Amino acid sequence: MADPLLQVRNLVVEFPTRRGTLTAVDNISFDIAEGEVLGVVGESGAGKSLTGAAIIGLLEPPGQVGAGEILLEGRRIDNLPYEQMRRIRGKQIGAIFQDPLTSLNPLYSVGRQLTETIMTHTDMTPTKARERAIELLTEVGIPAPARRVDQYPHQFSGGMRQRVVIALALAVNPRLVVADEPTTALDVSIQAQIIALLKKLCRDHGTAVMLVTHDMGVIAETADRVAVMYAGRIAEIGPVREVIKNAKHPYTHGLMGSIPAVGHDAERLEQIPGSMPRLTDIPQGCAFNPRCPQAHGRCFRDRPEPLPVEDSRVACWLYDEANALSYEDAKRAVAAKEQVSEAQLEEQANV
Amino acid sequence: MVAFIIRRLIQSLFVMFFVALVSFSMFQFIGDPVNQMVGVETSLKERAELRERLGLNDPIPVQFFNYITDAVQGDFGISYQQKRPVSQMLVERLPATLELSLISALFSLLVGIPMGVYTGLNRNGFLAKCFLTISLIGISLPTFLIGILLIFFFSVTLANLQPISIFGLFMLDPKIFQLPSFGRGTVVDLGWWTTGLLTVDGLKALIMPSITLGLFQLTLIMRLVRSEMLEVLRTDYIKFARARGLRNRAVNFGHALKNTMVPVITITGLQVGSIIAFAIITETVFQWPGMGQMFLQAVTNVDIPIMAAYLMLIAFFFVVINLIVDMLYYVVDPRLRIDTGKGSGHG
C-alpha cells in the first residue's frame, strides 16, 4: 500500500505564556488514508480542534507547532512558508468550521465567494467558475441554485448555509477535508442531513475527512476509524466498530457508558467521576489517572504511549506486555468491572 | 429603496425648515437691521421708509414666509456691510472652501485608511506603533497650532536656509520646498467656478491648508479603521476565507476591509460635513478666501444676512452628505436591501 494521505508524527501544539509553555496537543501521531473518514472525539479542551487547525496551518497565535511533523502525500507541510501553505489550503486540504452562520462573509453573494475560491486555485474563466459554482450548489442540495447563487448569506437558513460552506470546502476537490464540529451549531433534525451529505460527497469524490466532534452518534454513523483524545493526547485509536463495541482504554469505556441508549432502562447514566485536568496541571504519568478506576502504581509514574492492541492502538499501561497483566488479564479486569455494574443494574431492576 | 429615499428627503426638508426658522430668528433678535444699514445723519422719516421698503413692518409669519420663498430661489438678501447680494458673495467664496474641504477629505481618507489597515494587520510592528504615537499627537494638537507650525517651517524657516550640498554632487536649495503661507495662489476662472487645481501655484497653496484641516480627520479615520480591522480579523468568515486558501490581499482588502466600511462611511460623512463647517479656523490661519473667512468678517460686522445664509448652507451640506451616506450603506451592505424578498429578515 502507498503512503497514507496524511501522516501526523509526534505533533506538539503549544502556547508560550508568561508563566511557561502550555502544551495543548502533546505528542500525537495518526494517519489518514485516501478516502478514509477519521473521527476525532473528546471533551472540550482535549485538543481536537487544535489538531485540525495545525493540519490546515491556521493555528491562531500564540499557538504554534512545537515539535513533530505533518506530511501530506509524503510531503512535509507543517513548516511551509505562509504563501506555499496557502496554495495547499482549499486546494488539497479543505476546511469546514463549526458555525455556518458566521463562516460566510455577509457582504458577498454565495456565488461570488464560490467563484473567488475556484478562481484562486484554478485558471477557470469567470463564466466557467460561475457554472461550476451553480453545479456545486446543486450537488450540496440547494434548490433553485441558478437563482440562489446570486443571493447573500443572510438569505439562507442555517442548514442551507452549512451546505454552502461544504460546497466552498469541496470547491476544488481537495484530497482531505478537516471538518471541525460541522453540525454542533445546527438543529438536531438538520444535523443528520448535513452529516449524510458530507459523507456522500466525500465518498463520491474520494475525499478523506478528519471529522472533529464530540458527538459519538455522528462518529458511529460516519467514521471508518476513530481517535479518542484526552488532555491533548490520543487515548485510543482504532476501527470505529472496535472502539465503540469493544472499548479498551478505561476513558473510552467510560465515554461509551455515558451515551444514553433508547430502550435501556438505566436509572442513571454512567459518568466518569471528576473532570479533565486543566492544561496547567496535567498529572504525572497517565493524564487520566485521577479519574481511572483501574489506575495502579505505574500509571502515576510513567506516561503510556499508544501500543498496538488487536486492530487499535491504546495508550494504557493495562495493555503493556512488560506489565504484570497480560492483555487477557486486562480484558478480564475491564469485563469484571462491567459485570459488577451490570449486576448492580439487574439488582436495581429486580427490586 | 425609492420609498426610503423619499422618506429621507421629507425628513431632510423638515430639518432645513427648522434651520431656516433659526436663521430667520437671528434677524429678529440681533440688533435692528435698519440701524446697521444707515448712517448717523439719516432722518427718522428716511428710516421709517426704509423699514417699510424692506418689509420689516409686515407680521413676522409673513416675513418668514417671504424669507423662505426667497431662500428657496437662492435669494438670501443683501449684505448690510457690502450692499451686495449675499448669494452672489457666497458663490464667489464657495469654490475656495469646497476645494479645500474636498482635498483635505481625500487626503485624510487616502492616507488614513491605508494607515489604519496597516496598523490593524501589523498590530505589534514598529512602524504601526510609530503611526499610533504620531496619531495621538495629531488628535491632541489644536488645528491652528498645526497650521502655524507648518507655516513656520515651510514658509519661514525654509526661506532663510542656505543651499546645502548633497554629498558634494549637487546643490540643494531648500527654497524649492518652500510653500506659500496665504491665499489660493493662481486660480483659473471657469466662469461659474474658480479652481486652484489647474495651476502648480494653486496646488502648492492647497498643500498646507489641506494637511492642517485634514490631519485630525486622518488620525480619527486611521484609528477607526484599525479598531474595526482588529474586530473583523477575528471573525469566523476571515478564518474561513484563509482556510479556503484565498490570497492575503483578497482576505485583507476584499473581505476584511469591506466589512469595516459601514462605520467608516458614517464617520467620514459626518467629518466631511464638519470639515466644511469648521474650515473657518484653517481659512483664518492661511488667509484662505473661503466662506469661513467671510463668515468671521460677517460676525465682526453683525452682517446678519450673511450669517443666516451661511448657517443654512452648512445645514444643507450636512443634510446632503447624510443622504449620500445613507445611500452608500445600501451599496455596501446587502443585508439592508430588504426588497430582495424570500428568506430575508431572518438572522
Which phi and psi angles does A71 have, rounded to 5°?
-120, 130
The span from the CA of B134 to the CA of B294, in Å, is 33
- Is 50 exceeded by the pLDDT of residue B182? yes
- A229-350: same fold as A6-223? yes
d(CA A13, CA A51): 8
Of A83, A70, A143, A145, give the one whose Cα is nearest residue A114. A145
Strand partners of residue A95: A178
Given an 8 Å threshold on Cβ–Cβ distance, is A151 in contact with B240? no
Contact status, residue B1 vs residue B337, Cβ threshold 8 Å: yes
Gap from B252 CA to chain A (nearest CA, Å): 12
pLDDT of residue A327: 54
Q: Verify whether the Cβ–Cβ distance A89 to B247 is below 8 Å.
A: no
Question: Distance from A291 to chain B by nearest Cα, in Å?
Answer: 35
> Residue B66, by phi and psi: left (phi above 0), alpha (psi -120 to 50) or beta?
alpha
pLDDT for B36 beyond 80: no
pLDDT digits (tens, 9 = 90+) for B196-210: 788 888 888 888 999
Does the structure show a pLDDT above 50 at B347?
no
> Taking the CA of residue B191 as centre, how many other CA atoms within 13 Å lie in the half-sphere pointing to its CB?
0
**Mean per-residue pLDDT of chain B:** 84
pLDDT in tens, A235-280: 899 998 888 888 888 888 888 877 776 666 666 777 787 888 888 8
pLDDT tens digits for range B40-86:
788 888 888 888 887 788 888 888 888 888 888 888 888 877 888 88
| Cβ-contact A309, A325 below 8 angstroms | no
HSE-CB of B335 using CA atoms within 13 angstroms: 11
As a whole number of angstroms, the distance between CA A2 and CA B300 comes to 91
* Shortest Cα–Cα distance, A51 to chain B (Å): 14
Collect all residues of chain B within an 8 Å Cβ-Cβ radius of residue A151: 340, 343
Which CATH code is given to the segment(s) A6-223?
3.40.50.300
- State whether A103 and B236 contact (CB < 8 Å): yes
How many CA atoms are closer than 13 Å to the CA of B131, on its beta-carbon side? 25
pLDDT of residue A328: 60
Q: How many CB atoms lie within 10 A of CB B127?
A: 11
Query: What pLDDT is attached to residue A133?
Result: 92
Cβ-Cβ contacts under 8 Å, A155 against chain B: 340, 342-344
Mean pLDDT (chain A, rounded): 84
Parallel/antiparallel/unpaired status of strands A307-309 and A312-314: antiparallel
B-chain residues near A94 (CB < 8 A): 243-244
A90: left (phi over 0), alpha (psi -120 to 50) or beta: left
What is the secondary structure of A55-99 as a DSSP string?
Answer: HTT-PPTT-EEEEEEEEETTEE-TT--HHHHHHHBTTTEEEE-S-
Nearest-by-Cβ selection for A97 from B239, B255, B342: B239
Nearest CB among A109, A121, A165 relative to B245 is that of: A121
Closest CA in chain B for residue A168: B244
Query: What is residue A13's three-state secondary structure?
Result: strand
CB contact under 8 A, A157 and B346: yes
What is the β-pairing status of strands A6-17 and A20-32? antiparallel
Best of B237, B238, B260, B336 to mutate (most A CBs within 10 Å, chain A): B237
Q: Which range (A51-60, A239-248, A320-329, B160-169) has the least confidence?
A: A320-329
Contact A104 B240 (CB under 8 A): yes
Among partner residues A86, A156, A158, which is closest to B245 by beta-carbon distance?
A: A86
Instruction: Break chain A into its structural domains and give their ranges.
Output: 6-223, 229-350
Kindly report the CATH class assigned to B2-30+74-337.
mainly alpha
Pairing type for strands B194-195 and A6-17 reads unpaired
CB of B343 less than 8 A from some CB of A = yes
Sort out which chain A residues have CB atoms less than 8 A from B243's CB and list them: 56, 58, 89-90, 94-95, 97, 169
Cell triple for A272: 466518569
The C-alpha atoms of residue A77 and residue A124 are separated, in whole angstroms, by 26
Alpha-carbon gap, residue A139 to A141, rounded angstroms: 5
Q: Which of residues 229-268 of B touch A (CB under 8 A)?
A: 235-237, 239-248, 250, 254-255, 258-259
pLDDT interval class at A342 (50, 70, 90):
low
C-alpha distance from A117 to closest chain B C-alpha (Å): 6
State how far the Cα of A282 lies from the Cα of A304, in Å rounded to an integer: 14
Assign domain A229-350 to its CATH architecture: 3-Layer(aba) Sandwich (3.40)
